[in-house]
Amino acid sequence: MKYGMIATWKMAYEGVVEGSEKLRNGKEVSEAVICAIESVENNPAYRSVGFGGLPNRVGEVELDAAYMDGERLCFGAVMAVKNIKNPIRVARHLSGYQRNNILAGGGAESFAATHGYESANMLTHESQQRWEKKIGEGYIPEEIEAYGGHDTVCIIGLDDQGRMGNGVSTSGLFMKHPGRVGDSPVIGSGFYCDSRVGAASATGVGEDIMKGCLSFRIVSLIKAGGDCQGACEKALFDHEADLKARGSKPGSMSVIAMDKNGNFGGATTQKEFPFVVSREEMEPTIFVAQNDGKVHRVIKATQDWKDNYLGD
């Protein structure tokens, strides 16, 4: 059995390197996925996840995270939590229970404190400055978008025993209303994972992703015999077309998928969406889904692309 990992955005690269190393050494998938996500959560240079994440409109970093175990279809999630250093760990903990799998706000924070999870002020000087600048410029609450497209780390892993796991972590949309929850910790929308089929995850404007339950939809297409790339494109573009046909103007949405054999795919409605893939026979590699409104394609990131990419 081969192992594999796929993750949203270039910012996941170092995490995928660390997580893949664990998979290569025969570690269980959840350990590899959690390690990879934590690497992004702990890095304040990545503006939209964990420490140094994007503040809500009152200047607080409020986080969402989830973990799904594709063997047992168990999942756990925390929503709108503050001051938890690694929300992904708490989400994974909750995935071990039969009930109380999703905890929000103060309930999640007291669960984390009771179980010894480290607390931290997640607002850095830089994230506060970004917030002050935005307050100064003004913004339209109903038109907040994904921050340069890249707000959420989603990581899918496949270990050498065929077990799959899927984790997500985000500070959500910049300037969101306090308490607002996006697609990321919502099962079927931000993530879905079934070791017998495959897994998918989404990033972008959560309100639009949730309307199409995109992750479950992709896994269902794979289950029905679709390949990962085709399933990502069909689910995403059918949903986008459906929203447009109903007169709405969907925000950016991007998706990734990996099946139980390590085949993968990615798709986006925005101009560019980088994602990272590693497999037994392939070192962690950055791919870019590109969409010019007419043609959608996936390329391997060139050195030139990497040198010029300004996002996380």
Which token pair is 303? 């050195």
Catalytic hit among 152, 170, 203, 269: 152
206 binds ligand SD4 (CB under 6 A): yes
User: Please, what sign has the CA dihedral across residues 250, 149, 89, 103?
Assistant: negative
112 binds ligand SD4 (CB under 6 A): no
152 given a catalytic annotation: yes
- Give the rounded distance of the alpha carbon of 69 from its chain centre: 15
Q: Which is nearer to ligand SD4, 35 or 175 (CB)?
A: 175
- SS3 labels along 255-303: EEEEECCCCEEEEECCCEEEEEEEECCEEEEEEEEEECCCCEEEEECCH
End-to-end CA distance of the chain: give it in Å, rounded: 32
Q: Quote the CA–CA distance of 269 and 237 in Å, as a whole number.
A: 8
Residue corresponding to tokens 């890095």: 43
Q: Quote the CA–CA distance of 76 and 245 in Å, as a whole number.
A: 34
As measured in angstroms, the least distance from the Cβ of 309 to ligand SD4 is: 16
As measured in angstroms, the least distance from the Cβ of 311 to ligand SD4 is: 10
Applying the rule CB under 6 A, the residues between 160 and 199 that interact with ligand SD4 are 170, 172-173, 182-184
As measured in angstroms, the least distance from the Cβ of 233 to ligand SD4 is: 19
Alpha-helical runs (H) found in 140-185: none
Element (H, E) at 45: none
Query: In terms of C-beta density within 10 A (0-12 exposed, 13-18 middle, 19 or more buried), how is residue 44 classed?
Result: middle
Nearest CA-CA partner of 208 in 189, 229, 233: 189
80 binds ligand SD4 (CB under 6 A): no
Q: Which is nearer to ligand SD4, 173 or 231 (CB)?
A: 173
201 binds ligand SD4 (CB under 6 A): no
As measured in angstroms, the least distance from the Cβ of 61 to ligand SD4 is: 13
20 binds ligand SD4 (CB under 6 A): no
312 binds ligand SD4 (CB under 6 A): no
155 binds ligand SD4 (CB under 6 A): no
Q: Which is nearer to ligand SD4, 95 or 201 (CB)?
A: 201
User: How many residues bind to ligand SD4 according to rule CB under 6 A?
Assistant: 15
Q: Catalytic positions, please?
A: 152
Q: Which spans of this chain sit near ligand SD4 (rule: CB under 6 A)?
A: 146, 149-152, 170, 172-173, 182-184, 203-206
